[in-house]
Amino acid sequence: MVATFGGGCFWCTEVIFQQLEGVRHVSPGYMGGSREHPTYEQVCSGATGHVEVVQIDYDEATLPYEALLAVFFKTHDPTTLNRQGNDVGTQYRSAIFYHNESQRVEAEAFIRQLSAHEVYDSPIVTEVVPAQPFYEAEDYHHDYYNNNPQNPYCAAVIAPKLQKFLKNRDDFLRH
Model confidence, pTM:
0.96
Tell me what pLDDT residue 174 has: 76
**For residue 90, pLDDT beyond 90:** yes
Q: Are strands 94-98 and 51-58 parallel, antiparallel or unpaired?
A: unpaired
The pLDDT of 136-161, averaged and rounded, is: 96
Q: Which of 35, 13, 148, 25 is nearest to 85 (CA)?
A: 13
At residue 132, the 3 state secondary structure works out as coil
Rounded Cα gap, residues 87 and 79, in angstroms: 14
**Total residue length of the chain:** 175
Q: Tens of pLDDT along 52-61?
A: 999 999 999 9
At residue 16, the 3 state secondary structure works out as helix
**For residue 92, pLDDT beyond 90:** yes
Q: Which CATH architecture has domain 2-173?
A: 2-Layer Sandwich (3.30)
Domain spans, the chain: 2-173
pLDDT mean across residues, the chain: 96
DSSP assignment of 69-112: HHHHHHSS-TTSTTEETTEESGGG-EEEEESSHHHHHHHHHHHH
Whether residue 96 contacts residue 114, with contact meaning beta carbons closer than 8 Å, is answered with no
The pLDDT of 142-170, averaged and rounded, is: 94
Tell me what pLDDT residue 64 has: 97
Confidence label for 108 from pLDDT (cuts 50, 70 and 90) = very high
Q: Using alpha carbons, list the distances in angstroms from residue 174 to 27, 28, 50, 113, 135.
A: 24, 25, 30, 13, 31
The pLDDT of 75-88, averaged and rounded, is: 95
DSSP-derived secondary structure letter, 140: G
Q: Tens of pLDDT along 3-48?
A: 999 999 999 999 999 999 999 999 999 999 999 999 999 999 999 9
DSSP-derived secondary structure letter, 118: T
Is 44 tagged catalytic?
A: no
**For residue 170, pLDDT beyond 90:** no
Q: How far is CA 82 from the centre of its chain?
A: 13
**For residue 175, pLDDT beyond 80:** no
Tell me what pLDDT residue 88 has: 96
